[in-house]
Structure 1
Amino acid sequence: MTTCASVARTHRVLRAGGALLGAAALAGSLAGCGAGWERPAPSTTVVTVTRGQPAPTPAPDPAPAAETSLEDLLAALEVPAGVQVVLSDGVHHASTPTTQQGPAWSTIKVPLAMAALDAGVIGADNAALRQAITLSDNDAAMQLWEALGAGPVAASAVGAIAEVGVPAERLRPEFSPFGQTQWPLEQQADFATTLPCRGGVVYDLMGQIDPSQSWGLGLIPGAHFKGGWGPDPDGTYLVRQFGTLPTAGGVLGVAIATRGSFAEGTQTLSTTASALQQALAATPVPAARDCHAPA
């Protein structure tokens, strides 16, 4: 195929050689290229930009609810008559002028179990350890006491954990020496806040209390607790519990106690725990102590 470019090259060759033969024919071919032989016009790309509507400005996050002090929370807490509630750091509420103090009863089994583990006289899988905490078994607790050496040796070991004086001998013949320890609720609540850090397997077991004893604080999901109960000399029962409650900021130590019959006491503490749970859920409180916060 003969193109306009090839015709032009041939024309230049003939002129260079001085040949005139075929010039007329070439002239005709070049004339045929004429105006039809043009460089292609440069291409043009058109870009169309469509501008959408601007994104709406997001609404600001609602301001967080103001924190309520533990004192104010407890002041507004509606609990049955005769109950005392103590939160960590000494904040307390009593519905009667009389504070509900008295023997620790089975709540002392927590530092007793910790002392036995610390002394190395039992292992973490010890059956008596589990029974003493989850079932509040008195015979199992006595095994731990005797494993520590009983008497002054055991009393000193348990007292060092709880930071309280523990009797070395029986004060009431029908009850254990350690169960008669005077352990104030304020001290118990503060002691409870240290348990996630130092309680180890004992603290874990406090989260596995038998359902038959899961009244009171046991009604609150995530609570780790231990209960204790027993009669005063006049037959009135002191019913008490202590432990930790989960909050957004960490654990909150709590101790509660009341007096009456055993059945009345458990019902009163259950009502109290439910009120406390609702108050903590509805009212932001200051960040509680946790294992990473200083004591």
Structure 2
Amino acid sequence: MKRIVGLTAVVTACAVLFGAATAGASPTWWPKQLPPLPPQIAQLFEPPVPMEKKLAKSFAALQKSMRKSLPGQLGLAIAPVGSDAPISMGNLETGRAWSTLKVPVSLAAERNSGVRIAAKEDKAIVFSDNDAAGDLWGSLGGGASSVQAVTNVLREGHDISTRVSSEADDPPSYPGYTMWSLADQARFAAHLPCLPDAEHVIRLMSSVAANQQWGIAKQVTRHGAVTAVKGGWGPGTGFSSAFLVRQLGVISTNAGQVAVSMAAVPKSNSFSDGTRMLNKIGAWLNRNLASLPTGRC
């Protein structure tokens, strides 16, 4: 209403200033070029900057500010829960899943074996225990059976691209070598709260141990936010022995939920530097929490 009233005032002022033409006549003194509108008036006619562009510009500034203190590559993808449209930022787009793949593995195993594997789920998610994850993988039958079961969970979560590594590609164990892009992971995380039987896995993600208390788990606290996360780390790809640290998460606020997938490849190849970089992203998300796109199942 204020904008409409302001526009009406501008039109009225112009009519008074330059005179309204009468029927069959036109003013002879009309200026060749109108003076520029005052800034307060001009902004009424400017299209609003999309929030996605504002976030991308702000994230680029964050990345630039970290070049000296924490050099390396950063990537972030966010998506409203229930959405298939992640927003991607940064210059790192994909990498090995490492322990973040324990989320779909745990959900697939829980559906297959029920309460019999509850203790293994706890270790695999809360403590990121690889032996427990291997047992969950084995409970699905191993080999092609396990690949198919976990792939089914990913597809149910609207990730239609990720190819789960098989035992032909890796040693016969939990396949953390799987390549998982940040956009695909954010899309899956955006549907995770909506999947049947996912409540237990998300509850475990909400109480991870100290070895995963970084990123959004450590930094996101505004607006009564509650976080559920799963971290992953290990040698990366595309770099010589580069170390990748990543985190899958869901942030819940009164406004709704947003899925997060973020990763860092520190130039130092240090796990601690990787978590520090993700802490920076977590703090940025915390500052921009009110502007993040949210949704619900």
State the TM-score, normalized to the length of structure 1. Answer: 0.68
Where do residues 45-124 of structure 1 align in structure 2 (5 Å cutoff)? 69-77=51-59, 78-79=62-63, 80-81=66-67, 82-88=73-79, 89-94=85-90, 96=91, 99-119=92-112, 121-123=113-115
Distance 1:178 1:162 in 2: 14
Residue aligning to 1:3:
none
SS in 2 for 1:86: strand
Distance 2:292 2:175 in 1: 35
Q: Is the CA contact 1:165–1:182 (under 8 Å) kept in the aligned structure 2?
A: yes
Cα deviation per residue 1:239-281 (whole Å; 9 max; x = unaligned)? Answer: 1111111244311111111112211111100111111111124
Residue aligning to 1:4:
none
Distance 1:258 1:176 in 2: 25
Distance 1:149 1:112 in 2: 12
Where do residues 1-295 of structure 1 align in structure 2 (5 Å cutoff)? 69-77=51-59, 78-79=62-63, 80-81=66-67, 82-88=73-79, 89-94=85-90, 96=91, 99-119=92-112, 121-123=113-115, 126-163=118-155, 164-169=162-167, 171-173=169-171, 176-198=173-195, 199-219=198-218, 220-221=220-221, 222-232=226-236, 234-260=240-266, 261-281=270-290, 284-286=291-293, 288-291=294-297
Gap change, CA 1:71 and 1:189, over 3 Å in 2: farther
State the TM-score, normalized to the length of structure 2. Answer: 0.68
RMSD, aligned CA = 2.2
> Match of 2:58, as an amino acid?
A
Moved over 4 A (4+): none
Q: Is the CA contact 1:106–1:229 (under 8 Å) kept in the aligned structure 2?
A: yes
Cα deviation per residue 1:138-170 (whole Å; 9 max; x = unaligned)? Answer: 000001011110100001000111133212215
Distance 2:78 2:280 in 1: 17
The alpha carbon displacement at 1:216 in A equals 1.0
The alpha carbon displacement at 1:118 in A equals 1.5
The alpha carbon displacement at 1:232 in A equals 3.2
Residue aligning to 1:6:
none
Distance 2:152 2:180 in 1: 13
Unpaired segments ≥5 residues, structure 2: 1-47, 68-72, 80-84, 156-161
SS in 2 for 1:76: helix
The alpha carbon displacement at 1:113 in A equals 0.4
